[in-house]
């Protein structure tokens, strides 16, 4: 019997957040850069998983170690035409769904983090938002945008 090890098949990274505006402590980010589309990737359409990579450029001061920046999303085209409602705003979750959290270190400098998120609920598209769970403002200006890229993947067997 042949041994066919599992491997990850990656799709194309999609930039879903690209903010030049600060995110206040305990607040949500504003409108996303683009919706993540889970239906059109040439390699892994309708992926069940993704890697979310975030770049948090700078802070008002070093955040406390162990705090997090959370990734939330509002589903789009949930039945093919209608979207979920109530995007998060300021400190209010609205109708957003939790996707994961990025751990933050106690340094006032660029922090890049990658997490694996589930796309099981994403039938079509999703708008992602960040919630700054630290007690410091995230400074996203002067060419140092806060960026989130989502790369879908699937696990399978290469023969």
Q: What percent of the chain has pLDDT over 90?
A: 81
Residue 48, pLDDT above cutoff 90 = yes
- The verdict on residue 5 lying in a domain is no
Structure tokens at 109: 């400098």
- Domain residue limits at 68: 11-153
Residue 141, pLDDT above cutoff 80 = no
β-sheet bridge partners, residue 1: none
- The verdict on residue 1 lying in a domain is no
**Confidence at residue 24, expressed as pLDDT on a 0 to 100 scale:** 95
**Confidence at residue 1, expressed as pLDDT on a 0 to 100 scale:** 59
Average pLDDT over every residue of 15-42: 94
- The verdict on residue 89 lying in a domain is yes
- Give residue 90's region: left, alpha or beta (phi > 0; psi -120 to 50): left
- The verdict on residue 144 lying in a domain is yes
Total domain count, the chain: 1
**Confidence at residue 66, expressed as pLDDT on a 0 to 100 scale:** 93
- The verdict on residue 139 lying in a domain is yes
Q: For 71-87, what is each residue's pLDDT tens digit?
A: 999 999 988 888 999 99
For the domain that residue 115 is a member of, what is the CATH number? 2.60.120
Question: CA angle, corner 137, sides to 136 and 139, nearest 5?
Answer: 130
Q: Comparing C-alpha atoms, which of 43, 34, 2 is closest to residue 15?
A: 34
- The verdict on residue 159 lying in a domain is no
This prediction has a pTM of 0.94
At 27, the pLDDT band (50, 70, 90 cuts) reads: very high
- The verdict on residue 55 lying in a domain is yes
Residue 2, pLDDT above cutoff 80 = no
- The verdict on residue 6 lying in a domain is no
């Amino acid at each position: 019997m042949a041994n066919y090890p599992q491997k990850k098949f990656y799709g194309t990274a999609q930039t879903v957040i690209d903010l030049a505006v600060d995110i206040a402590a305990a607040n949500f980010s504003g409108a996303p850069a683009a919706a993540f589309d889970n239906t059109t990737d040439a390699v892994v359409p309708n992926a069940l998983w993704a890697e979310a990579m975030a770049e948090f450029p700078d802070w008002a001061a070093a955040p406390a170690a162990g705090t997090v920046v959370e990734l939330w999303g509002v589903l789009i085209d949930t039945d093919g035409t209608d979207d979920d409602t109530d995007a998060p705003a300021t400190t209010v979750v609205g109708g957003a769904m939790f996707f994961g959290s990025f751990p933050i270190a106690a340094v006032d400098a660029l922090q890049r983090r990658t997490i694996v998120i589930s796309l099981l609920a994403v039938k079509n598209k999703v708008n992602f938002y960040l919630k700054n769970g630290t007690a410091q403002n995230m400074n996203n200006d002067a060419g140092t945008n806060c960026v989130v890229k989502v790369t879908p993947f699937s696990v399978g067997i290469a023969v």
